[in-house]
Structure 1
Amino acid sequence: MRESDTPIDRRTVLGGIGAGAVGIAGCLGEEGDGLEETDDDTEGETGGDTEATQEGSVTVTGVWTEDEEEDFLAVVDHVEAETDLEITYEPRDTEAILTGTLIDYEAGVATADIVVIPSPARVQSDAESGHLAPLTDTWDPENFAPDPDLVSVDDEAYAAPFKMDLKPGFWYRQSFFDEHGLEEPDDYDQFLDLLEEIDGIEGVEAPLASGNGDGWPLSDVTEAFILRQEDGDQLQLDLIDGEAEFTDDRVVTAFEEIQDLLTDGYFSEVRDFGIQYEFFWENEIPLYFMGSWTPTFGAIEDPEDLDVFMLPGTDAMVAAENWFTVPEYGDDVEAAQAAVEEMVSADGQEVWAERGGFIASNLDVPEDAYDVEIMLELSEMADEVELVPDLDDTVGDPFQSEFWSVLTGFWAEPDQDVEPLLDSLDTVLQETVEEQDEV
């Protein structure tokens, strides 16, 4: 990555993420008129009426495991000290959270007192169904990057933003590139040449990692190929809005480009995304399309050796949020709201930012909290491109589950005709968007 002498203004960078989200607010349901200002006089803190100190116990379920779990537990320690609450955390994968909460909520059961949801569409749907308690008073939108309209119903916010995930491109080890005389590609032809060169290096299984969980890491790299097409950022927004079809020629081209890489053997065997970091660090799979959480994983022994480049031809980057929600069916909703307020505060988010692999949604987290240089460089990259929402997270189910399933099958059988796959995905996409419009 190139060096810059220009200081990074996180309010500008992350404010851009919020502005990018505003463009899709209308496709997720009726926009609210905004949230009322709060009476908190402390600059940089959330502005709510929630009691700051309470006694009780709160359970949290989210997607953070292994090293990210340790980072979140450090935030939990901070919140416990500030609120006198006892907090327990249970990690689950994304699919388990999305499907499990649906079942639990319909039965009037809280999956946990606080549930981390990656999909704004699901937040709005759950709120419309009466499953969620409001969180308007736990955060002041003036101090945060994300737009509250994304998770609001009738001017009431039903989620609070925490961790921001940028999905910039292909990570690599600078030492590996230096050892073999490799350079970042300037265009797609150079990208293909780079893959061919890496493929010929002894000890390399494949140039590109195929990370998997429930299909979502495959969806991230697929979105990158969609974004690299002509007007890719607008195409992504139009797909989210249902104004573009998944059979669009540009989507077909994106899938065909991936298909060529798969059939040429440039993608590795599909493995759990966390395990793939081990192969990545050992230079067995030197390029890995992953998000801004990468420097924090245990397999990354030296974050200073990391660098990243965007897929050539791409002028947009996905920016996604992790949202805290509080089910109405919990034993102590007020205690859960108090815990959320402290977690999303500048002090709460700074705890993880200082540990690395975290970009705060709270704009009052100071720049000097980011000790790992690559995290500031990511912010610089984000400031130079258009920022768009995550496609499947924003659209939600049933499209998201179908998207993941189709991609898992595509990686397993890349020789199949892509057009029937895209026909089926477009049908589910349009049905999902129509259902949201009816809410």
Structure 2
Amino acid sequence: MTRRRTTLLTGCIALTLALGATACGGSEPVSAGGGAKNLSGQTVTVAGVWSGTEQKNFQKVLDAFSAKTGAKTQFISTGDNVSTVVGSKIEGGNAPDVVMVPQVGVLQQFAQNGWLTPLSATTEKSVDAGYAPVWKKYGSVDDTLYGLYFKAAHKSTVWYSPDAFTQAGVEAPASFDDMLKAGHTISDSGLAAFSVAGQDGWTLTDWFENIYLSQAGPEKYDALAAHQIKWTDPSVVQALTTLGEVFKDKELLAGGQKEALNTDFPGSVEKVFGPKPDAGMVYEGDFVGGVAHDQFGKTIGEDADFFPFPPVGGGKAPVVSGGDAAVVLKDGKNAKAGMALLEYLARPEASKVWAKAGGYLSPNKNVPLDSYNDDVARATAKSLVEAGDSVRFDMSDQAPAAFGGTKGAGEWKLLQDFLRDPSHPKNTAAKLETAAAKAYQN
């Protein structure tokens, strides 16, 4: 499973727009619609973090594009360090045409480096007509649209074992306090409440972000994401204190803090849905369902289900997202054909291909809900679409990678340290501010 997804997300696209688009810069039309084989002989190279099942399912989308246009496609899996891989390919004169970028901060870095071509008028028209404005904001730098969010993740879902809930006599909670109470009841029945993937620091940032968005509100969230307020702000200390209520309670944490720090994301899902469950719940994005189904044979909606991350205090239920934005590189050998691919990805028909395969959410409101292959995916997609402009992108993905996206450093490490000892939220906030200030200056 790649990070974030990533990777979060709602939006909408206009009716079935014909893609008889004008390529970037106003040159001759490049169409990805109507089935014309007008790109025969060209190869579009696409780089992205996906591997395994995600890569196979995205290839189905690329194959559908090829069937329409005659273009061949080649996918290059970069691993999580997209910027380093793409940068080296650009320097070596072998730049891909399209990159699927999983972090807002990386998209901004690419644009500031002068690597990106603004999206075509046709793609921007689709975004304006359909996507919630927040998605255009996250795909733009200095009011220029560079990124089309094709795949999204809903990162405000708490997954649970219906059997564990039934055994404990609890129901899906309506508030954060109710969730902790239900957790203690589950613990009394013989299982820990939560499996936490503390070995992967990004999961801890997601815990914090959901609590912070609900407790502090979207304006504070935006300000902290842009480092317009400091991490020593009382709102941060309050959110860390709330998070500490989970981390310090041995009845709530499967195996306690030590075991949580030695559990990676797939392992956290196994502790709930594997053959020997240790916990009743695992918080993470909609992609938990894919792991529960693919690796442990669970039927989504029956053996594995989710409830929305509940509101904290007097706040609203959070909707935190992540996603992968398609961008076109200036130095790609077939950038014009790459732009045609983005025009295709902006259409509901492209999203329907992956939605049918599973493990996918689209930030496109015009993707019919019946395109998704199970009720849980349909419910998650509906939730994201209805959230509209209240969706907030994963905060750590908006930060410089040195702070929000580096293993063993910055926010990832400091929240792991907080999981190890959650007794001093003010001290942790101060350390987060020191790390953030350094990263934002560079």
Q: TM-score range by the shorter chain?
A: 0.7 to 0.9
Q: 2:337 aligns with which of 332, 335, 338?
A: 335
Distance 1:60 1:333, change over 3 A: same
Structure 1 residue 172 corresponds to structure 2 residue 160: yes
Distance 1:131 1:43, change over 3 A: same
Residue identity in the other structure for 2:357: R
Q: 2:369 aligns with which of 360, 367, 370?
A: 367
Instruction: Identify the residue that residue 35 of structure 1 maps to in structure 2.
Output: none
Instruction: Identify the residue that residue 264 of structure 2 maps to in structure 1.
Output: 272
Distance 1:45 1:419, change over 3 A: farther
Instruction: Identify the residue that residue 301 of structure 1 maps to in structure 2.
Output: 298
* Cα offsets for 1:282-318 (capped at 9, x unmatched): 3433212122233333135211221223234251211
Q: 1:237 aligns with which of 196, 209, 222?
A: 222
Q: 2:392 aligns with which of 384, 388, 392?
A: 388
8 Å contact kept, 1:162–1:322: yes
Instruction: Identify the residue that residue 128 of structure 1 maps to in structure 2.
Output: 112
Instruction: Identify the residue that residue 36 of structure 1 maps to in structure 2.
Output: none
Cα distance in 2 for partners of 1:272, 1:98 equals 24
Structure 1 residue 60 corresponds to structure 2 residue 53: no
Structure 2 SS opposite 1:228: helix
- Output the TM-score relative to the length of structure 2: 0.78
Q: 1:262 aligns with which of 221, 241, 247?
A: 247
Structure 2 SS opposite 1:210: coil
Segment drifting more, 279-288 vs 344-353? 279-288
Distance 1:371 1:246, change over 3 A: same
Instruction: Identify the residue that residue 48 of structure 1 maps to in structure 2.
Output: 21
> How far did residue 104 of structure 1 move?
4.9
Counterparts of residues 68-217 of structure 1 (less than 5 Å) = 68-94=54-80, 96-102=81-87, 104-105=89-90, 107=91, 109=93, 112-137=96-121, 139=123, 140-141=126-127, 142-145=129-132, 146-153=134-141, 156-202=144-190, 204=191, 206-211=192-197, 215-217=201-203
Cα distance in 2 for partners of 1:176, 1:185 equals 14
8 Å contact kept, 2:165–2:186: no
Cα distance in 1 for partners of 2:334, 2:76 equals 18
* Cα offsets for 1:64-90 (capped at 9, x unmatched): 333333322222222222232332334
Counterparts of residues 408-423 of structure 1 (less than 5 Å) = 408-411=416-419, 413-415=420-422, 417-423=424-430
Segment drifting more, 182-191 vs 145-154? 145-154
8 Å contact kept, 2:47–2:96: yes
8 Å contact kept, 1:83–1:338: no
Cα distance in 1 for partners of 2:417, 2:66 equals 44
| Structure 2 residues without counterparts, runs of 5 or longer | 1-8, 24-29, 33-37, 255-259
8 Å contact kept, 1:56–1:85: yes
Residue identity in the other structure for 2:149: P
Structure 1 residue 223 corresponds to structure 2 residue 209: yes
Structure 2 SS opposite 1:161: strand
Structure 1 SS opposite 2:280: coil
Q: 1:253 aligns with which of 233, 238, 243?
A: 238
Cα distance in 2 for partners of 1:425, 1:284 equals 32
* Cα offsets for 1:118-155 (capped at 9, x unmatched): 22333233212211223234612213335434333465
Distance 1:337 1:271, change over 3 A: farther
> How far did residue 236 of structure 1 move?
0.9
8 Å contact kept, 1:44–1:346: no
Q: Aligned pairs, how many?
A: 394
> How far did residue 278 of structure 1 move?
2.8
Distance 1:408 1:109, change over 3 A: farther
> How far did residue 323 of structure 1 move?
0.2
> How far did residue 110 of structure 1 move?
5.1
Structure 2 SS opposite 1:360: coil
Structure 1 residue 424 corresponds to structure 2 residue 431: yes
8 Å contact kept, 1:135–1:158: yes
8 Å contact kept, 1:59–1:88: yes
* Cα offsets for 1:170-214 (capped at 9, x unmatched): 111323322332212233433222222223444x4x422223685
Instruction: Identify the residue that residue 38 of structure 1 maps to in structure 2.
Output: none
Cα distance in 2 for partners of 1:319, 1:47 equals 31
Distance 1:110 1:341, change over 3 A: farther
| Structure 1 residues without counterparts, runs of 5 or longer | 1-12, 19-40
Cα distance in 2 for partners of 1:419, 1:58 equals 50
Residue identity in the other structure for 1:426: E
* RMSD, aligned α-carbons: 3.1
8 Å contact kept, 1:168–1:309: yes
8 Å contact kept, 2:195–2:268: yes
Q: 1:281 aligns with which of 264, 273, 276?
A: 273
8 Å contact kept, 1:225–1:311: no
Instruction: Identify the residue that residue 403 of structure 1 maps to in structure 2.
Output: 411
Structure 1 SS opposite 2:353: helix
Cα distance in 2 for partners of 1:166, 1:93 equals 21
Residue identity in the other structure for 2:288: T
Cα distance in 2 for partners of 1:118, 1:225 equals 22
Structure 2 SS opposite 1:123: helix
Instruction: Identify the residue that residue 353 of structure 1 maps to in structure 2.
Output: 355
> How far did residue 59 of structure 1 move?
3.0
Cα distance in 2 for partners of 1:188, 1:77 equals 44
Distance 1:367 1:326, change over 3 A: same
Distance 1:209 1:102, change over 3 A: farther
Residue identity in the other structure for 2:299: D
> How far did residue 430 of structure 1 move?
4.4
Cα distance in 2 for partners of 1:405, 1:222 equals 13
* Cα offsets for 1:20-69 (capped at 9, x unmatched): xxxxxxxxxxxxxxxxxxxxx98335573242342333333323333333
Cα distance in 1 for partners of 2:416, 2:214 equals 21
Quick one: percent identity of the two aligned structures?
Answer: 23
Residue identity in the other structure for 2:238: T
